Amino acid sequence: MVTESATLAEARRIAASVPDPELPMLTIGDLGILRGVSVTAERVTVSLTPTYSGCPALAEMRRDVAARLAKAGFSHVEVRTVLSPPWSTDLISADGRSKLAAAGLAPPRSLPRADGPVPLTLFASGPPVACPRCGSADTTVTAAFSGTACKDLRRCRACGEPFEHVKEV
């Protein structure tokens, strides 16, 4: 017999396993944008919080979540967008941070947070970012933006390798 809690756990597992289109080494579970899953007799409801309100990948993630749950036999799926509380890079799991580093991207630093509005700095600031290849903190920013607005491009002065860094939000 399948219990409601087993069904909920399966729906959560399926939703959490959807890869992020812009950072495919991470799932939406790793990234921390999967905010909730609920199951009733009639439907599965999934709540996602985009990394920022204009995230172009949100529509694709919503379609992927719905399609994977439908394929698993959940006939009525609703995927909601939840903007509050806002997403921050603190929500990236430890496993997600390890996956970023293994893929050659410097994970975001954990920064102290204050209550109130979330400041967004699109240009490099703060303490040094360690090179994901050699670990040196002797790195420099070469471009404020990389393949997406949420990343910047850096170069390690110690090993000479360029790398992307996921900006802190």
User: How would you classify residue 7: left for phi > 0, otherwise alpha for psi between -120 and 50, otherwise beta?
Assistant: alpha
Instruction: Decide: pTM greater than 0.85.
Output: no
In the chain, where are the structural domains located? 4-81, 105-166
pLDDT, one tens digit for every residue, the chain (169 residues): 345 666 999 999 999 999 999 899 999 999 999 999 999 888 999 999 998 878 888 999 999 999 999 999 998 999 999 999 999 999 999 999 999 999 999 998 876 656 666 555 555 556 789 999 999 999 999 998 888 778 889 999 999 999 999 888 7
Residues listed for the chain: 169
CATH number of the 4-81 domain? 3.30.300.130
**In the chain, what is the straight-line distance between the N-terminal and C-terminal CA atoms, in Å?**
44
Q: Are 13 and 90 in contact (CB under 8 A)?
A: no
pLDDT at residue 5 in the model: 64
| Alpha-carbon separation of residue 128 from 80, 122, 136, 153, 154 (angstroms) | 37, 16, 9, 13, 11
